[in-house]
Amino acid sequence: MSKKTGGSGAVGTTEAGSTVPGAGSGVSRRRLIGGAGAAGAAGLVLGAAGGAGGYAATRGDEPAALTTIGTTVAMFHGKHQAGITTPLQARGHLVAFDLAAGAGRREAAALMRRWSAVAERLMAGEPTGDDTGVARDAGPSSLTVTFGFGRAFFTRTGLEARRPAGLDPLPAFSSDHLDAQRSDGDIWVQIGADDALVAFHALRAVQREAGATARVRWQMNGFNRTPGATARPMTARNLMGQIDGTGNPKPGESDFDQRIFVPAGGPAAHEWLAGGSYAVVRRIRMLLDDWEQLPVDRQERVIGRRKADGAPLSGGSETTEMDLDKADADGRLLIPDNAHARISSPEKNGGAAMLRRPFSYHDGISDDGTPDAGLLFVCWQADPFKGFVPVQRKLDRGDALSPFIRHESSGLFAVPGGVAAGEYVGQRLLEA
């Protein structure tokens, strides 16, 4: 697996010295980084002058080295699928497919075999057999391709007996305004990368390989801040300007795997899911025109954290534990009773936690002139009825943020564990 760092917004790395596909024959990452540090620094200064002259000054007889962002590789094989604990990527595509009429278990197995082969090559920065060349000249750029199965997949493939209880339908919530055409799906694919063309290239490859077996049910496109755009790695901000993801479980915590990944040793019918996880996917529209009319201090009381640095209103820094009982001189709670951070905290939900790994989105302007923008919310947990559901139920009963958001689509997917060399994703389910 690729080397990970805890928290959102950090940049993952491969081991130094590994050969990087697309960087030129026999060129190691150590050499690439060294070249960028020594010769590249002068090029950056010259390039800052702008214009064709600055660009030409960075050109030489040999190809310019890829940046560290372009060289970063997420491994396809491993205990878990990539794209779950992988640090947030700059670009993302979420797409759900429905199996075509008449397609069943055999066709689904062939599709997952094709998709896994394509994902393995693309994540390594290698072209596919019928490559379009869209990502030519780029390195792997932290590309991840993650696959999951929806509830209806098990009916269409005749595998109802192997469908886990974690895929039972989610309850309805009062804040839902769900579009059925943009919800659910038989197979879900999450694509992320730190380069827009690399991400799009993978999306098109997945869509082409679907062939006549599956058709796109819905697709959503998102983005995050580009790694390296800030002076130091930091938790990402959402389109409301708030730091988002501070309370995420961290891979270094002792109970992280227990909270996020399905353990081995469960019922034999569900052993295919060991090492996997459940993804809840929600398209959450932010009513930005209304939100931006609030003064910053009101926004902070809605969230329960300072906008500038994400620190709780009870004091400290972003990572300081919230003091939910702390009050001001008048006895008023510093973190209001209905603040989003209070209501969603594990302390107020019996310890329920999930790993939030979203993308922002902006789909233009709606007919009423308001921005169609918000969050492609993706959260991961070992059991959605112990993670997402209790927290969302609590938020549904009085979250101060609710008037400023609208849940417009929803999906729940069982994401199989990672695969060994020679295996494809879902093989333990489809060939058992």
Q: Calculate the dihedral angle through the C-alpha atoms of 170, 171, 176, 181, rounding to the nearest 10 degrees.
A: 40
Look at the block and give the residue holding tokens 């920065």: 125
Catalytic, 244? Answer yes
Q: Which helix (H) or strand (E) holds 153?
A: helix 151-156
Strands 277-286 and 359-365: unpaired
The neighbour count for residue 18, using CB atoms within 10 Å, is 13
Cα gap 103→211, rounded to integer Å: 12
| Catalytic entry in 184, 194, 244, 257 | 244
The neighbour count for residue 109, using CB atoms within 10 Å, is 17
Phi-psi region of 128 (alpha: psi -120 to 50; beta: other; left: phi over 0): beta
- DSSP at 11: P
Please check whether residue 251 is in contact with residue 85, taking contact to mean a CB–CB distance below 8 angstroms: yes
Amino acid at 334: L
Cα gap 152→171, rounded to integer Å: 17
The neighbour count for residue 37, using CB atoms within 10 Å, is 11
Instruction: Pull the structure tokens for residue 7.
Output: 């928290």
- DSSP at 172: P
Instruction: Pull the structure tokens for residue 362.
Output: 């902006």
Residues sharing a CB contact under 8 Å with residue 51, sequence separation 6 or more, in sequence order = none
Residues sharing a CB contact under 8 Å with residue 385, sequence separation 6 or more, in sequence order = 166, 168
Please check whether residue 415 is in contact with residue 429, taking contact to mean a CB–CB distance below 8 angstroms: no
Q: Which residues are catalytic?
A: 244
